[in-house]
Structure formats: structure tokens, C-alpha cells
Chain A
């Protein structure tokens, strides 16, 4: 009986969380008068210099702006300076903020502000550090004993990544790449899951983040590429000479399409999930109906569960393909 009431409580807690995001979202919508679903959705999916939770004086977190320009050098100030009391965009000290880009007297500057996604990135990294160091501490303390607590939560996942993703794809010299791949997996998994929280930024669904990860994979793959890998690209063995010339550009393009596909896949999967969720919530405001709101919230609950699944799948897929690429670059092509 108590287990059942527990379940009920949990269910309503989830619903409440969902509705809390709906309410903060509704507040957004009421702001501009006319409701523009696509604009609101894009605004939520994209990066921003402020972190907006709800309307009102304390509802917005103004993040620090850090800009570098050859004229002024490095400058740090709060993004609050770009807004007046009625939340209208204003210029500050010669800087203007226009559609997320900062300009100094009309010229663009090097913007390394702590934006919403950078903040999410820090939170994600801090969370990973705290949890994984606690797990590592457990591993050190319980040496020779059964795992306990966080350690027993992380160990099966680590074993899964090692034995199911990395080992079969890279082969016997997998240990060198394991730290990178494990970090990659947990970074994407936690980033995806954090992004599903109400009010959270769409960090792993941002193309800059996925691009950076893909570039790391690209660098590692090509730096560790052996003779067989490069000879396969530039002078494909076992193929007639004229074909080799045709294959060469294809192979060279292939070097770049691999990380490119990684970048696009993660970006699209996560961003699309967020857009679907927000679109379903938008239905309530488009139809201005409580019934539609209730039904769409139920669907949102369902999609949210799917998104949790997607969070895991995308982390798995990114790590899997990175392992496959590294495996291809380091495999011994004895059979030629």
C-alpha cells in the first residue's frame, strides 16, 4: 500500500515539475501579447546571455559577459547592463546585444561570455566531477570488497561502456582510449539528462558543443591512425588503378563526414526532442484550452520518458561511433 502511495506521490511530483515548466513558459508567452510558438521555441532551444526561469524581478539570472576586442581588450560585465527595467534591449558602453551577438560600435567582438549553455556546461562538469570522484573514492576505499553506494551505480555503466562499446570496436589496445570515451559517454549522458530538467539549457543540443566533441574525436582518430589506415585512404589496396583515383576523393571526404555525422546526429536528436516537447506544450496556448493543455501534458510526460531513453541512446551512439572510427583507424589490416 505504501509502495503504491509512493508511486502516486512520485507521479504527481513529475506532473508538477512538468506543469512548472509550462507555467514559466506561459509567463513568457503572455509577455509579448501575441503568442508566437516558433519564436518562443527557438528562444528556448538556443543559447542566451541571460538565464530566464520565470517572469518578475528574481526570475532571471543575468550571466556575466566576457568580451575581447583589439580596441578595448578583455572586458567583463553583467548582461543586466543590456536590459533596462522593462526588459528592453539597450546599449552599454558602446556594446550592443543583437540576437545573441555582441557588437562593439557595429563590429563583432570575440565573445566568450558565460552564456546559459556555458553555465550548463559548468554545472554538468561539476556534477560529473563530484559524482565520479565520489565513485572513485568508493573504489579506493572498498578495494578488495563489494562495491557500495555511488560506486555500485557507476561501475555497471563503466563496465558496459568498456565491454560493450569500446572493447569490441577498438580491440586489444583499447585501454589508451578508454578515459576519453568514458568521459565522452558520461558528459553526453549527463548533459542530455540535465537538459531535460525544467528551465535547463539545451547544452548537448547545441551545435557548438557537439562540434567540439566531434572535433576531438576527429583529432584522436586521425592522430592514432596507423599506416594501414592512411594507405587505405590514399592508395586503396586491392583495387584497380583507375578506381583508386576515383576512390581517393571519396575517402578524403569520408575522413570529414564521420565526425560531421557525429556532430549533426547528437545536435538534431536532442534539439528535436526539445522542440517536440515545447511544441506540445505550445498547443495549450495556441488553443487556449485547459483540456488541450491537460492532454498535451500527458503526451509531454510520455515524450519526456522517451527523451530520457534518447538521452541514453545518443550518449551510447556517440561513444559507439567514436569507438568504431578509432577502431578503423588503428586496426591491423592483415588480410590484405
Chain B
């Protein structure tokens, strides 16, 4: 039964010692330990927050960079396309012009040739007519000096007519 009856002396000392312990420890031990724990927790939290912020910032910057790059690439493509179009157009125009010029030259040449040809033909015709006349004159002078020859010629002409 003595086991279950609390001793007054022990209660007395326990109360004193425990109260002192609570007072001393809360001032000298728990205060610094708890405040250092709290401080550390806060510093860890703030470090984590900063890291998170930096990460978000990085992502944002990366996205920005990508956007810029994409825009630049689009711009380049557009410029290239335009340049190609301009070249093509210029080439086509040049070709067209050249063709036109060539055609004109050819036409002119053809016209000139025609005119020259006609002039030459005319000339040739006149010359031929002149020669023919001269030849005819000479022939006439030589061959028709006699009546007989004149007769023969006429007969030959008639023969020719008959054949034709």
C-alpha cells in the first residue's frame, strides 16, 4: 500500500525542482532553441520562395526569348519570300522586254529586207528588161537583116505558138 501513497517530501521536492526546471529551461534553453528553429524554418522558406521566383523568372525569360526567336525567324522567312518574288518578277519583266525588243528588231529587219527585196526586184526587173531589149535589139539587127531570116523567125514563132 505504501507504493500507492505519495510521499510528502518527494511531492515537495518534485514541485520545487520541476517548477525551477520549467522556469530555467524556458528562459535559458527553450527560448534560444525554439527561436533558432523558427529562424531557420523562415530562412529555408524564404530561400525556397526565392528559388521558386527565380525559376518562374527564368521560364518567363525563356519564353520571351523563344518568342523573339520565332518572330525573327518569321520575319526572315517573309523577307526571303519577298526578295524571291521581286527577283522573279524582275526576271520575267526583263525577259518580256528582251523578247519584245528582239521581236521588234526582227520585224524591222524583216520589213527592211522586204523593202530592199522589192527594190532589188524592181531593179533586177528593170535591168533584165533593159538587157532583153538590148539583146533583142542586137539580135534583131543581126538576124533580120535579110528577108529570109525574118521569114524564118516568124515561122519559128508560129511553131512555138503551135507547140504551146
Q: Contact: B39 with A144, CB < 8 Å?
A: yes
Interface flag for A140 (CB, 8 Å) = yes
Q: 0/1 per residue, A103-123, Cβ < 8 Å to B?
A: 000000011111101100110
Q: Which residue of B lies closest to A132 (CB)?
A: B29
**In the docked arrangement, what's the CA distance between A121 and B9, Å?**
12
Q: Which residues of B contact A182 (CB under 8 A)?
A: 25, 30
Taking each of A42, A158, A209, which has the highest tally of chain B beta carbons within 10 Å of its own beta carbon? A209
Interface flag for B4 (CB, 8 Å) = yes
Q: Contact: A115 with B22, CB < 8 Å?
A: no
Interface flag for B10 (CB, 8 Å) = yes
Q: Which residues of A contact B22 (CB under 8 A)?
A: 179-180, 183
- Considering only CB atoms and an 8 Å cut-off, how many residues of chain B contact the other chain? 34
Docked complex: B105-135 residues within 8 A CB-CB of A: none
Interface flag for A331 (CB, 8 Å) = no
**In the docked arrangement, what's the CA distance between A135 and B14, Å?**
24
Contacts A125-B17, A144-B39; A179 near B8 (Cβ below 8 A) = no
Q: Which residues of A contact B21 (CB under 8 A)?
A: 125, 128-129, 183, 187
Q: 0/1 per residue, B12-43, Cβ < 8 Å to A?
A: 11110110111011101111111111010001
**In the docked arrangement, what's the CA distance between A300 and B27, Å?**
40
Q: Which residue of B lies closest to A66 (CB)?
A: B9
Contacts A45-B3, A129-B21; A209 near B26 (Cβ below 8 A) = no
**In the docked arrangement, what's the CA distance between A212 and B9, Å?**
12
Q: Contact: B3 with A216, CB < 8 Å?
A: no
Could you tell me the distance in whole angstroms from the C-beta of A214 to the nearest C-beta in chain B?
Answer: 11
Total number of A-B contacts with CB less than 8 angstroms?
A: 122
Q: Which residues of B contact A139 (CB under 8 A)?
A: 32-33, 35-37
Docked complex: A213-263 residues within 8 A CB-CB of B: 213, 216
**In the docked arrangement, what's the CA distance between A121 and B7, Å?**
14
Task: Pick the residue among B9, B25, B35 that contacts A129 (CB under 8 A).
Answer: B25
Q: 0/1 per residue, A278-316, Cβ < 8 Å to B?
A: 000000000000000000000000000000000000000
Interface flag for A28 (CB, 8 Å) = no
Interface flag for A207 (CB, 8 Å) = yes
Q: Contact: A143 with B39, CB < 8 Å?
A: yes
Interface flag for A178 (CB, 8 Å) = yes
Q: Which residues does A use to contact B, with CB under 8 Å? A: 42, 45-47, 66, 99-100, 110-115, 117-118, 121-122, 125, 128-129, 132-133, 135-136, 139-140, 142-144, 151, 154-155, 158-159, 162, 178-180, 182-183, 187, 206-209, 211-213, 216, 271
Additional A-B contact list (5), CB under 8 Å, known A132-B29, A133-B29, A143-B39: A139-B36, A143-B36, A183-B18, A208-B14, A209-B14
